[in-house]
């Protein structure tokens, strides 16, 4: 008789809403690194870890990824058996299925894992072991995208993690609802949310972005997107290693290398731009 697999992790609060994760889904369908990971497998498996009390965001992920990458399979994992049972009606295997599982990924070998609003309930020192547990199950060349967002998906941030370590931090906001860019600080990934204090790289980053937002105020006459886009341009002009294209900035996105915001103190960029 096969031995039952040990599930790793703790159940999330389960809060979810339709379209809550639309911003990360949009990024996943456009990111070159994600495309490379999915292209490397004949029938790529994507795991949506900790989808919550309703499977709606996993269903949306399968629809959006399937439109961009035909043949992709999505598996929603939850530790709570009642949540898995409640999702059965939405299953459409092999395109979309649901199963019990945690950081061990139910013994599967996905090329991509989306883990959103999962680590918020954990301590900061739990982040690295949780990443490592998931990466152990991810296929070579695959990616983990781990982050958080507000209840309606207007403020989002995530870390893209490869086997060699974290690659980047992405912010994605509905910019016409922003007071200041640093508002997103309340939704930073667990690895950074307690690091937004003077002396840390992510604090330098958000402080400089706020300063650029202030400088770009005249562009507000052309709309919040124009002001955000100019703010990102100014950020890059001040020496921050902004990644991605201008059309992504207009969507309220901003991506920087992980090394520029990683915990552990000021960057040279941060000091120079203050």
CA dist 124 and 259 (Å) reads 18
Within 10 angstroms of residue 84's Cβ, the number of other Cβ atoms is: 19
- Model pLDDT, residue 265: 67
- Give the percent of the chain with pLDDT over 70: 94
- Model pLDDT, residue 133: 97
19-73 pLDDT per residue, tens? 999 999 999 999 999 999 999 888 899 999 999 999 999 999 999 999 999 999 9
What is the pLDDT averaged over residues 2-11? 70
Residue 270 binned pLDDT confidence (cut-offs 50, 70, 90): very low
Residue 9 binned pLDDT confidence (cut-offs 50, 70, 90): confident
122-172 pLDDT per residue, tens? 999 999 999 999 999 999 999 999 999 999 999 999 999 999 999 999 999
- Model pLDDT, residue 170: 98
Omega before residue 94 within 30° of 0, cis: yes
- Model pLDDT, residue 274: 34
Residue extents of the structural domains in the chain? 1-163, 178-274
Task: Look up the CATH architecture of domain 1-163.
Answer: 3-Layer(aba) Sandwich (3.40)
Show Cβ contacts of residue 256 under 8 Å, excluding neighbours closer than 6 positions: 168, 169, 205, 240, 241, 242, 243
Q: What's the whole-model pTM score?
A: 0.93
């Amino acid at each position: 008789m096969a031995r039952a697999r040990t599930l790793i992790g703790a159940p999330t609060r389960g809060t979810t809403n339709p379209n809550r994760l639309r911003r990360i889904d949009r990024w996943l369908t456009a990111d070159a690194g994600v495309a490379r990971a999915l292209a490397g497998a004949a029938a790529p498996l994507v795991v949506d870890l900790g989808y919550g009390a309703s499977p709606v965001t996993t269903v949306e992920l399968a629809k959006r990824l399937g439109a961009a990458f035909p043949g992709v399979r999505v598996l929603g994992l939850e530790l709570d058996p009642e949540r898995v049972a409640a999702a059965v009606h939405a299953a459409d295997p092999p395109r979309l299925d649901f199963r019990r599982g945690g950081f061990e990924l139910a013994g599967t070998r996905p090329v991509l894992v989306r883990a959103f609003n999962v680590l918020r309930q954990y301590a900061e020192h739990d982040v690295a072991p949780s990443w490592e547990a998931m990466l152990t199950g991810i296929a070579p060349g695959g990616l983990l995208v781990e982050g958080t967002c507000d209840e309606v998906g207007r403020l989002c941030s995530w870390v893209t993690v490869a086997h060699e370590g974290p690659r980047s931090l992405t912010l994605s906001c509905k910019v016409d609802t922003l007071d200041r860019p640093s508002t997103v600080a309340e939704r930073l990934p667990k690895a950074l949310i307690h690091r937004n204090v003077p002396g840390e790289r992510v604090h330098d980053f958000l402080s400089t972005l706020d300063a650029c937002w202030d400088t770009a105020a005249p562009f507000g006459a052309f709309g919040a997107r124009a002001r955000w886009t100019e703010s990102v341009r100014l950020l890059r002009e001040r020496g921050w290693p902004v990644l991605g294209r201008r059309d992504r900035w207009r969507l309220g996105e901003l991506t920087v290398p992980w090394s520029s915001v990683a915990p552990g103190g000021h960057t040279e960029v941060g000091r120079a731009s203050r």
